[in-house]
Amino acid sequence: MMRRILAFFLLGYVLLPFISCDKNGLELSQEEERRQLDELRQEIEALSLSHICENAEDWRVTAIGSKACGGPTGHIAYSTKLDTNSFLKKVNEYTHKELAYNKKWPVYSDCSVPSPPDQILCKDGKPELVWSSASLP
């Protein structure tokens, strides 16, 4: 009986390095994380342009992204005809992932906080964000 217990512990000791997880092997490089963020941003931008802008009243704006210094990187327009809850969740996911990226990697940015636009116009079927000269980003 004692031999079996000893054999069990010895086997566990020998196999432990092979079955334990190497966290470093699972982490993404800075470039891979940036690429994933860029892909998510492109997906959000494609969703925001998935409806034709015919009436500016059907459009809203939300902040997006996270600067290393704090605050959003910008603003994005979206149609109220979208599944707005799903869209805003995706924007929030992107913003939180970029915040985590900025904390993890040595990232720098300016510390200006972009103002929300004063209005949205429809131009050539696309939303155009407009700032007055007093509130340019």
Q: What is the pTM of this model?
A: 0.76
Alpha-carbon distance of 79 to 131, in angstroms, equals 19
Task: Return the pLDDT at 25.
Answer: 57
Structure tokens at 9: 């512990």
Q: How confident is the model at residue 133 (pLDDT cuts 50, 70, 90)?
A: confident
Tell me which of 20-29, 58-67, 71-80 is least confident. Answer: 20-29
Contacts of 86 by beta carbon, 8 Å cutoff, 6+ apart: none
Residue 43's contacts (CB-CB under 8 Å, 6 or more residues apart) are 90
Pairwise CA distance, residues 32 & 29, whole Å: 5
Beta strand 74-79 pairing with 59-64? antiparallel
User: Rounded to an integer, what distance in angstroms lies between the CA atom of residue 114 and that of residue 65?
Assistant: 11
- Per mean pLDDT, which range of 28-37, 50-59, 107-116 is the poorest? 107-116
Per-residue pLDDT, 26: 76
Q: What mean pLDDT value characterizes the chain?
A: 87
What's the angle, vertex CA 61, arms to CA 82 and CA 33, rounded to 5?
85
pLDDT at 69 over 60: yes
Block residue for tokens 């964000």: 129
**What length does the chain have?**
137
The mean pLDDT value for 99-111 works out to: 93
Res 94 pLDDT > 80: yes
pLDDT at site 21? 44
Residue 31 CA to residue 114 CA, distance in Å, equals: 26
Asked whether the beta carbons of 42 and 57 are under 8 A apart, the reply is no
